[in-house]
Structure 1
Amino acid sequence: MSRGDLTPELLDSSLWADELVQRAGIPVFDVPLVSVGGGIGSFTLVDVLRVRGVPTTSIRVLSTSDSPWQTWEYLTRVSQLPAHERIRSDSGARPDNIWGFPSYALQEAWQERTLKPVYQVLAEPVLADFYSPRAGTVTRSLRREADRIGYWETLAKGQVRMVRKRAGGGYFTVLTPPAGTGPTKRVAIRSQYVHLAVGYPGLKFLDDLQDFRQSHGERYRVVNAYEPHEHVYERLRSRPGVVVVRGAGIVASRVLQRLIDDRQRHGLQTQIVHLFRTWVAGSHGPNPWMRRKGGDGWAYQAFTMPKSAFGGQLKARFRKAGAERRAGLAKVVAGTTTPKLRRWQEQLRQGRQSGWYHPVQAVVDRIDRAPDGRLVTLTRSEGAAPMRYVSDFIIDCTGLEADMDEHRVLDDLVRHGGALTNRAGRLLTGRNFEVIGADSQGGAVYASGAATAGNHFLAVDSFLGMQTAALDIADDLAGRGFCARLGPIRSVTQWAKWAANRRPG
């Protein structure tokens, strides 16, 4: 066993005494609050706490990422949303600005000396598509705010192994630093509060595609939209080909747009087969007040959730509802959707008319390999004969893996930390995003992001959702005396410092 490593006694114990950690030779560092993850969820909490007067010395962000936007920027880029493209987010959803003013639209209007973004916000969605910011604008804004609040002073690089309760209150968070950066394999951060914003544990593949990849060692022709797959587009530019796209969300629409843009820009002969497991023929919903537009297989929605889920009637209803009612509401309003953008809709219409875009409702039975190395997708659909599609590539656009047992830290927190799970299989949290069952004699574990889905707030996996969680967590911490409350005077003075790009305090 390496010096300063986890011992069998530590691994088996759910409650760690200081002496137990010391006997293992693991160095212990003290800091009041630890945030695990280092993505936008961690960033929004650090931002809110700095605005509320918490010094950087009282916060540590534990992460393998070099910046809060690193993972987000990577995922948007590989899923065909490079810096110049617009993301699926509201104008006022600014993770770098808790006030949401000026909005992204106002900022773009000022910087580019045009009123077009302002008009678009005022006219959406009847006379114009919903406004959304460019991906590059988001990352530049995050960098500015990270520099302003001193985020880099809070960052500690490494892989978090686990969070365990401490005898006497608080927690030990075990970190594996980068190789060669210290004399021991592990270090432990002793804190009163822990925040978990760990995102998704990995890619989510459809079962038949995962089986095919594993059995054939296939990584070139069968790809996930969230992994690098630029080779697909490069190959199609060099010769005609067939692509099967699976999925019906925002990522599928972005992949289709990239394929069609390349086809039109370079005069390609690419054929696209788009497989829908569930076909949406038109508007759908349980009643006239809760209906979502749809058509041609797609369910249309501007954002991941209806706008009222972020701060309207739906948010209030969800917060007041019991577990069973919440599950029913979530089933109605959640699900796979994509924005209905005019340009993209026209591209699909042209593809259907010209016969190179083939939308099909079907269930895939299996994937085989043709003698020439290409892929054979065998499908079945109700009332129709089985079909066989031969393609050069399959792009899986079904999303990211969200199961908690796939994430080591979350799984350990449930097994040893007393954390409870909700009906959605995620962490059960209270009104302030405190993890139920994980409290430790005055200490608390908080969580935000995908791991908290299915609780009192619907849109957790969004910019506004992570900001909402950060504000609620900070309110709870203020009640515990850790930070100041955000009253009118502090809010105005801190916004002025944000506008002047001055350090908070």
Structure 2
Amino acid sequence: MQIQLTWDDPITEEQQQHQFETPIALGRELAQLPTTNHGQPVSQVVLLDANQKISRFHAWIADQNNQLIIEDRSANGSILNGQKIKGQQHPLQNGDVLQVGSYNITITIPQSLSQATIVDASLSTIAQPRLSTIVAPLTEITSAAEVSAPPPSTIVFHPETDAIETQENLLSPLHRSFFPPPALFAADRVSVSALHASGYPVDEIDYAAIGGGMGSFVWVDTLRIAGVKPEQIAVLSIQEKPYKRYETLLRNCQIPRYKRIRSGSDSCPDNIWGWPGYALRDACRSVSTGQLGAALGFLWQVFSEPVLADTYTPRARDVFDAMDREATRISWDRMWRYGSVRSIRKTEDGRYVIAYSATRPPGAPNYRFLIARYVHLCTGYPALKLLPDLQNYRETTQDLKSVVQGYEPHDHIFEHLEKYGGTVLVRGFGIVGSQILDRVYEARKQNPNITLVHLSRSPKRGNQFGVAKRYVENQWEFQPFNWPKATWGGDMRSRLEASDPLQRRELLESWGGTTTASRGRWRQIVKQGIREGWYILKFGQVEKVERSANGKPITFVRNREYAGFDKIEADFVIDCTGLVSNPRDNPLLNDLITHYNLDLNPQGRLHVENSFEIKKMRNDRARMYAAGIITLGGPYAPVDTFLGLQYAAHRATESLAQFRAPNVHYIEGMRSLWQWFKWAANQAP
């Protein structure tokens, strides 16, 4: 019998969906598997868990007389549909949810779909399942050749403008196919003389930052404070403001400049020292305008969070304004160059060559080469993540208005709801889901005939590590930030750095998960919505999404309570499952990974050293570093936070100082104090 197991990866938040032939063994170590009476091969599902609540051989799923059963063989037991089972056999039905350690696994039995056609005959068109596979984490770092690339997202950032585009509307410029010249970049090391002979302009620089976002900004800021001059640095980016993409994503998910973002007081991209933090700056501004109570409130939040007060968070506009000030101080405009980077190669003389287009669309082609000895990669999220069934709906119907991704522009939804009312189906929790709910609450003040259906595969139980457990209320899992605070600079950070890639995978799976920050006002909105009936929580496995006769998306949800489907017809569906973090979805990184067969960690992200160096890209004295989400699963957990980007920048700069890179000094002692005084006085480093 073939079945399908579905769960969310607690690290990348990507949906994992695999089909297996029974019998199936689940556990932490499956070297000694049980044998079957008929010598059948056993499908293995290896689930890591640093809590060690998953036994080496934890559970057994088998087919007995055409009835699927699960047998728990663990020390701690399993949870089936919310009920604990230990050392027992239980029958399994479609849509059952099995919790093993921190994994919530939804079980689908494709063979019984023929029975479900009694409820809806259209489901008979579902494709047959694939052959069984073995799912097991990679024991160490893995070469690119051993990891297959996942299907690309259909919603990407335009390579020339950085605008959010759908693949069907995005026509890549033809010149991308022949620049750089394939013959020139075919070798592992490119001749510098051949570059000059190509006829394209060739520039040389000491340091090059590729990406130009907030990760590039904090690295360049740290370099400048460490002693590097502006004329030694080049920033290649298609966005002039380092926070442009971030601001766009915030605005699209209903967080305009005046609202507060999910960050802390001391994580300041404009200030590597973290003091004064945003809360103190907020308090000073309030005092200057005579708002003493507000000033005391900000300080109280910082000193009492999160036990006695909600965690302090800064306004988006304050973050961006502070970055503008720091950009002027470090001469960002002198270092920034418009550049759509095509490819990177090592050179024969121990450096790197970067092929890029300096053309601002729709201008004439302007291709160039930049040779640098030290390169920093921080390209950010390459695309928006769209659930497979919603992606299929959009491709089939070409309806890009009724079904949207939470990070796409979708103000039209709330404008429609405010005028006409209606139903919106939200899939995915986390910070985006909470902002959508807040926006619906505001829309209901204009039109109360609005209903929000929130769909999840299974109820939340709260992730646990040791004795610590996240608080869950009304299916929302609360945590001030996206990772426990101890991963930012405490014991968890040290433990992660000291671990090997596989141990890191275990730790991150135990610490990770989708959370949102606790806010008193917002939690009251959830309770009010449930009480008044306009906020509805639903659970189940989505089978497909189809278009109704009147043009609305219908979501078919398998309900484990009975042999059939719930049909949820909504005016709009909003996917809040997040962003794509796989570097292979970025053409530049995919080319680099493939050409140099770069090592990937067990999450399929770039393997980096504790200094965030990509060691396999060393070229004599030349060094390449990476930062941000493309290093997820490495030596630092919250890599895409403000503090995470600053931490990676600091470690990379320390590494450059150790290698005696030009003008790079350690930021410590009197140098650090003197540079802080310069920052406070807004003087150039």
**Above 0.5 in TM-score?**
yes
SS of 1:501's partner is coil
Match of 2:353 in 1: 172
Change (3 A) 1:80 1:183: closer
Q: Cα offset for 1:120?
A: 1.0
Structure 2 Cα separation of the partners of residues 162 and 383 of structure 1? 53
Q: Which amino acid aligns with 1:350?
A: Q
Shift of residue 268, structure 1, vs aligned partner? 2.6
**Aligned equivalent of 1:25, options 199, 216, 224:** 199
Helix, strand or coil for the counterpart of 1:379? strand
Aligned 8 A contact 1:52 1:485 in 2: yes
1:370 aligns with 2:583: no
How many residues are aligned here? 501
SS of structure 2 residue aligned to 1:84: coil
Report the secondary structure of 2:193's partner residue. helix
Aligned counterpart, 1:271: 451
Paired AA for residue 61 in structure 1: V
After TM superposition, the structure 1 stretch with the greater mean CA deviation from structure 2, 21-30 or 95-104, is 21-30
Q: Could you list the per-position Cα deviations for residues 117-171 of structure 1 after superposition, in whole angstroms to 9, with x for gaps in the alignment?
A: 0011112112211001011111011101001111111000020001111112010
1:180 to 1:198, Cα distance in 2 relative to 1, 3 A: closer
What is residue 441 of structure 2 aligned with on the other side?
260
Distance 1:189 1:171, change over 3 A: same
Alignment counterpart, residue 141 of structure 1, candidates 318, 322, 327: 322
Asked if structure 1 preserves the Cα contact closer than 8 Å seen for 2:257 and 2:315, the reply is: yes
User: In the alignment, is the contact (CA less than 8 A) between 1:364 and 1:380 conserved in 2?
Assistant: yes
CA distance in 2, matches of 1:415, 1:41: 24
Aligned to 1:132: 313
Letter of the 1:474 partner, please give it: T
Following the alignment from structure 2 to structure 1, what is the Cα–Cα distance between the partners of residues 434 and 187? 48
Q: Distance in 2 between matches of 1:416 and 1:307?
A: 37
Report the Cα offset of residue 86 of structure 1: 0.8
Shift of 1:420: 1.4
Q: Which residue does the alignment assign to 1:78? A: 252
Deviation at 1:360, TM superposition (A): 1.1
Equivalent of residue 304 in structure 1, options 482, 486, 489:
482
Match of 2:335 in 1: 154
Please state how far the C-alpha of 1:183 moved relative to its aligned partner.
7.9
Residue 284 of structure 1, CA deviation? 3.8
Name the residue aligned to 2:621. Answer: 442
Q: CA deviation at 1:66?
A: 1.6
Judged with a 3 Å threshold, the aligned counterparts in structure 2 of structure 1 residues 425 and 284 are, in CA distance, closer, same or farther, namely closer
Q: What is the aligned partner in structure 1 of residue 228 from structure 2?
A: 54
1:59-84, CA deviations, whole angstroms, 9 ceiling, x for partnerless residues? 10100102101011111111111111
> Match for 1:97 among 249, 259, 271?
271
The answer as to 2:261 corresponding to 1:87 is yes
From 69, 84, 87, the equivalent of 2:243 is 69
Give the whole-Å Cα distance in 2 for the aligned partners of 1:453 and 1:405.
Answer: 13
Q: 2:537 aligns with which of 341, 359, 368?
A: 359
Matched residue, 1:189: 370
1:44 matched to 2:218? The reply is yes
Q: Distance in 2 between matches of 1:240 and 1:435?
A: 52
1:319 partner letter: E
In the alignment, which of 277, 280, 284 is matched to residue 106 of structure 1?
280
Following TM superposition, by how much is the alpha carbon of 1:23 offset from its aligned partner in structure 2, in angstroms?
A: 3.0
1:265-298 deviation digits (Å, cap 9, x = unpaired): 32431100000123214x441431x322223222
Which residue does the alignment assign to 1:396?
Answer: 575
Question: 2:520 matched to 1:347?
Answer: no
Aligned to 1:451: 630
Q: Which amino acid aligns with 1:427?
A: L
The alpha-carbon deviation at position 181 of structure 1 amounts to 9.8
Q: Tell me if structure 2 keeps the 8 A contact 1:26–1:184.
A: no
The percentage of counterpart residues that share the same residue type is 36
Gapped regions of structure 2 (runs ≥ 5): 1-173, 288-294
Q: Which amino acid aligns with 1:434?
A: E
Q: Write the letter of the residue equivalent to 1:450.
A: I
AA aligned opposite 2:330: I
1:407 partnered with 2:586: yes
* 2:565 aligned residue: 386
Alignment deviations for residues 406-442 of structure 1 (CA, whole Å, 9 cap, x no partner): 1111111112235311111011101110012111111
Question: Which is worse superposed, 42-51 or 4-13?
Answer: 4-13
Letter in 2 for 1:492: L
Q: 1:390 to 1:154 in 2, by over 3 A?
A: same
Q: Is the 8 A contact 2:417 2:447 kept in 1?
A: no
**Alpha-carbon deviations, 1:20-75, whole Å to 9, x = none?**
22232221100001100000000000111111111001110100102101011111
Is the alpha carbon distance of 1:325 and 1:8 closer, same or farther for their aligned partners in structure 2, counting shifts above 3 Å? closer
1:353-411 alpha-carbon deviations (Å, 9 max, x no partner): 11110011111111111111111111013234521111100011111111221111111
SS of 2:259's partner is: coil
Which of these residues, 313, 322, 336, is aligned with residue 514 of structure 2? 336
Residues 552, 569 of structure 2: 8 Å contact kept: yes
Distance 2:588 2:452 in 1: 40
Give me the whole-angstrom Cα distance separating, in 2, the residues matched to 1:278 and 1:167: 55
Q: Distance in 1 between matches of 2:471 and 2:652?
A: 35
Aligned counterpart, 2:413 = 232
Question: 462, 480, 485: which is aligned to 2:659?
Answer: 480
Q: 1:2 Cα deviation (Å)?
A: 7.5
1:14 pairs, out of 180, 188, 194, with 188
The unaligned stretches of length 5 or more in structure 1 are none
Q: Secondary structure at the match of 1:9?
A: coil
SS of 2:343 mapped into structure 1 = strand
Change in Cα spacing, 1:470 to 1:432, as seen in structure 2 (3 Å) is same
Q: Which residue of structure 2 aligns with residue 34 of structure 1?
A: 208
* In 1, Cα distance between equivalents of 2:565 and 2:476: 23
* Whole-Å separation in 2 of the counterparts to 1:26 and 1:128: 59
**Structure 2 Cα separation of the partners of residues 131 and 89 of structure 1:** 8
* In 1, Cα distance between equivalents of 2:595 and 2:279: 46
2:338–2:360 Cα contact (<8 Å) kept: no
The one-letter code matched in structure 2 to 1:403 is N
Contact 2:380-2:630 at 8 Å conserved across structures: yes
RMSD: 1.7
Deviation at 1:253, TM superposition (A): 0.7
Decide which of 503, 512, 523 is 1:325's aligned counterpart.
503
Q: Deviations over 1:290-311 (max 9, x none)?
A: 3222232222111011100000
Judge conservation of contact 2:301–2:309 (CA < 8 Å) in 1.
Answer: yes
More helix by share: 1
SS in 2 for 1:160: strand
Structure ranking higher in strand proportion: 2
| 1:373 partner SS | coil
Does 1:464 find its partner at 2:643? yes
Q: Is residue 204–residue 400 contact of structure 1 (8 Å, CA) maintained in 2? A: yes
The verdict on how the C-alpha distance between 1:492 and 1:82 changes in structure 2, with shifts beyond 3 A counting, is same
The amino acid across from 1:348 in the alignment is V
Instruction: Report which of the two structures shows the higher radius of gyration computed on alpha carbons.
Output: 2
Please give the alpha-carbon distance, in whole angstroms, between the structure 2 residues aligned to 1:33 and 1:187: 16
- 1:278 and 1:297 in contact (8 A); partners too: no
